[in-house]
Amino acid sequence: MLLNRRQLLSTGLTAAAVTAAGRFTVAETAARPDSATDAQVSARLDQFIEQYMRDMKSPGMTLVMSDRDGIQRVASYGLADVERSRTVRSDELFQIGSISKSFVALCLLQLHDEGKLDLHKPVADYLPWFRVESRFAPITTHHLLTHTSGLPGNADVFLSDPADRHRAASAPGEYFHYNNMAFTLLGHLAWTLDGRELPEVIRRRILEPLGMTQTEPAITLDVRQRTVKNYSAFQNDRPDTPNMRLSEAPGIIETSGAGCVASTAHDMGLYIRMIANRGATPNGRLVSKESFALFSQPHIIAEEFGPTAHYGYGIAVDRLDGDAVVRHTGGMISFMSAILVDIDRGLGAFASINAMQDYRPTPVVQFAVQLMKAATLRKNIADVPAPAGARAGVGSGYAGVYEDVSGRKLVVTSTDGSLWLEHGAEQIAMEPTPEPDHFLVAHPDFAHFPLVFARKSDKDPQSAVTEVSRGGEWYAGSAYEGPRKFTYPPKWDSYIGHYRNESPWLGSTRVVVRKGRLWLDGVIPLEEADDRFYLRDEEHSPEWLQFGPIVNGRCMLLKFSGVDMWRVATT
């Protein structure tokens, strides 16, 4: 059978076929037997990937499928260079983003195995220079590894103001809040305990033992020639739309523990094999059995990764079709990645796309693993999932006339399950987003904010739609029964505006006032507490804003969890 065959060919493209009309191609580097089941598995997966990439407007993708015995399939899809119609090569590097966090976690677990790290000792005992203010118990390595430190995740480890300290918003271990800063800090911890900077720690402790010779543990301009051409939004100050224009992304340098690894599909197959073997390799264990158990243990509920997901150490822990799996996604400025390993069955998949379009190829790796499991159990091949762009019933309940306090109207119509916004003489399509009741409108007048509908009951997604907002604009529908005028402190008017940092990681954010409340980007409510405003997209989010100097009635500096963003004179 396909999924038990171990013959891997050279890294050059050995098989290529156009799978459909247009320029969509599949290129394989792994040989396979000529059995009917193998052909079904390949055809079923490629059929889904083609439709998925077309729905998502993906340029190119790399994919690997592995099990406990080795790599089963390496495949490349679509285009590495859209302008020149060049297909993806299997030896090109893809940035894996936050999947790098699992590498950092495994390095620290090795140090734990060596007796150099107590996971429950205050991290300040190892890193006394880390400035943190807290009325709670000390933060430990365990808390950082599980995203439960209570610290903001969008901050820099080293704040620009020497007087500033990071502030814990909740007791460590109490709440899950995804935290890039925590893993940047953990990278410094690995450096401190190992004696080598993090990229070298990863190379020596993970890449070399696993034979991942093509992988780079630091994203630098020196490796850009080996990296697949990659794309990001042409206009990066607004929400993404499915049909947004892409442009080649700038080169970056990233060496932090939050996401510093660039790899090939083949090498990620070796990484999957190790996880599928629960930390064992052909040359011995990468980490002890006890440490792998900590790595894959469901320490804290992590609904951000799914309704049944928990978080382990640097990786999410979940169940798929009754089996225990570990999985993660990775988003970079111009890459989207996903990994999923069924540790009960010992098989997994990794995929990465060379563009950032605000989604991850999670459905691809999940379906690949389901196909592998079906083939291993000699069961019927799974049905192809519904197209990623399916919008069944999306028009239900939204159509109507909405009016603001000045009498200005917003008219939404529904035709055959599609929604349309009337704008002058035009009817503009409304595209649903993964967030319920949120829609994007591909028109310059509506580009900066999504349309957000609200219902009569926040707890009942089937209750009547009562209102719609866009940034600071608010329109009530016929079913709305609440107040129509709202008050707020006059000083908030000075906070309204467009703030920006030219770091490609930050870009733009906009502050608006709506219904007597401050909002970030029109979708995240802000709650004032002490000297700052906390983001309340999560009930206990530690992320915060502080407003700085006021010039001519306008705030000129915004601190976003301690990171500076400056007001710009544009809407």
Counting every residue, how long is the chain? 571
Spell out the SS3 assignment of 323-336. EEEEEEEEECCCCE
The answer to whether 117 touches 194, Cβ cutoff 8 Å, is: no
Find the distance separating the first CA and the last CA of the chain, reported in whole Å: 59
Structure tokens at 175: 């709440």
The answer to whether 251 touches 232, Cβ cutoff 8 Å, is: no
The pLDDT, as a whole number, for residue 394 is 58
Residue 561, classed as helix, strand or coil, is: coil
The answer to whether 313 touches 294, Cβ cutoff 8 Å, is: yes
Distance CA(217)–CA(214), nearest Å, equals: 10
The pLDDT, as a whole number, for residue 166 is 94
Structure tokens at 29: 């580097």
The pLDDT, as a whole number, for residue 511 is 98
> H-type helices in 340-463, by residue range?
362-376
Q: Where are the beta strands (DSSP E) in 490-571?
A: 497-501, 507-514, 517-520, 524-529, 532-535, 544-547, 550-551, 554-555, 557-560, 563-568
Structure tokens at 215: 């992988």
pLDDT tens for the chain, residues 1 to 571: 233 322 222 223 333 333 333 457 888 876 445 444 577 788 899 999 999 999 889 999 999 999 999 999 999 999 999 999 999 999 999 999 999 999 999 999 999 999 999 999 999 999 999 999 999 999 999 999 999 999 999 999 998 888 889 999 999 999 999 999 999 999 999 999 999 999 999 999 999 999 999 999 999 999 999 999 999 999 999 998 767 899 999 999 999 999 999 999 999 999 999 999 999 999 999 999 999 999 999 999 999 999 999 999 999 999 999 999 999 999 999 999 999 999 999 999 999 999 998 889 999 999 999 999 999 898 887 778 876 654 444 556 899 999 999 999 999 999 888 899 999 999 999 988 888 899 999 899 999 999 999 999 988 988 999 999 999 999 999 999 999 999 999 999 999 999 999 998 999 999 999 999 999 999 999 999 989 999 999 999 999 999 999 999 999 999 999 999 999 999 8
Structure tokens at 515: 């219904």
Residue 457: Cβ within 10 Å count: 11
Residue 405, classed as helix, strand or coil, is: coil
Distance CA(517)–CA(488), nearest Å, equals: 7
CA dist 259 → 100, 217, 253, 314, 451 (Å): 5, 9, 11, 11, 32
**Three-point CA angle 507, 509, 512, nearest 5°:** 165
Residue 495, classed as helix, strand or coil, is: coil
The pLDDT, as a whole number, for residue 18 is 33
The pLDDT, as a whole number, for residue 458 is 86
Distance CA(440)–CA(429), nearest Å, equals: 9
The pLDDT, as a whole number, for residue 40 is 78
Distance CA(199)–CA(205), nearest Å, equals: 10
- Residue 247: beta bridge partners? 232
